[in-house]
Amino acid sequence: MPSPRLNHPLGLTLGLLLVAVAFAAPPAFSTSKEGELKPLQLLQKTDIAMFGEVISKDAAWDGKKIYTTYEVKVHGSAKGDPATEISVRVLGGEVKHPFPVGQRVAGFPNLQPGEKIVAFLNKNDQGSYNLSGTVWAVSTHNGKDSISVPNGKLLPVDKVLQRIGRLDEALEKSKEATKARTDSKKNDH
């Protein structure tokens, strides 16, 4: 006898949601106890940190999972040197074939064309990018593109990109200094 919970439309929806979550991989970003991103750990795992605008989106099945590919026009970057337009592939989305179905995955965005974002990305084997951490939504306040941070303040995107760039430079210098010390110790033996 079928479960009465699955015969109810809400039960079926919850069942499908649980299946979707079971197939989903969590995003690879680090957070503090307060839930804020740790920028150094994020930058270590990131190929590019960029500011851009979603131009289009297209969802498709890949095996038993749905992925959405977003075409993004890059307005600036703080790390890496992305092309002026890039493709970003994200787990989740909505498809219409063979029947309409959607998959939402916690931690992965559902972006719309025209939406501006700051994203941390890694290049994948197909030549597009995957999320390496998080996507920050950008809104316009008093004519400036800004990001709302956890304490409620608005930070201008250009300032955020400058800070990320300085952090990345410091991280690279630290890596170089560590390598130089390691090389020096090897030569001493």
Residue 123 to residues 64, 71, 140, Cα–Cα distance (Å): 23, 14, 28
φ and ψ of 112, to 5 deg: -125, 150
What local confidence, expressed as pLDDT, does residue 175 receive? 80
Looking at per-residue pLDDT, the higher value among 118 and 17 belongs to 118
Q: CATH number for the 4-188 domain, one of 2.40.10.10, 3.40.50.20, 2.40.50.120, 2.60.40.2130?
A: 2.40.50.120
What local confidence, expressed as pLDDT, does residue 38 receive? 65
Place of tokens 């010390």: 181
Domain boundaries, given as residue ranges, for the chain: 4-188
d(CA 1, CA 21) in angstroms, rounded, equals 26
Instruction: Tell me the percentage of the chain whose pLDDT exceeds 90.
Output: 28
90 with 68: CB under 8 angstroms?
yes
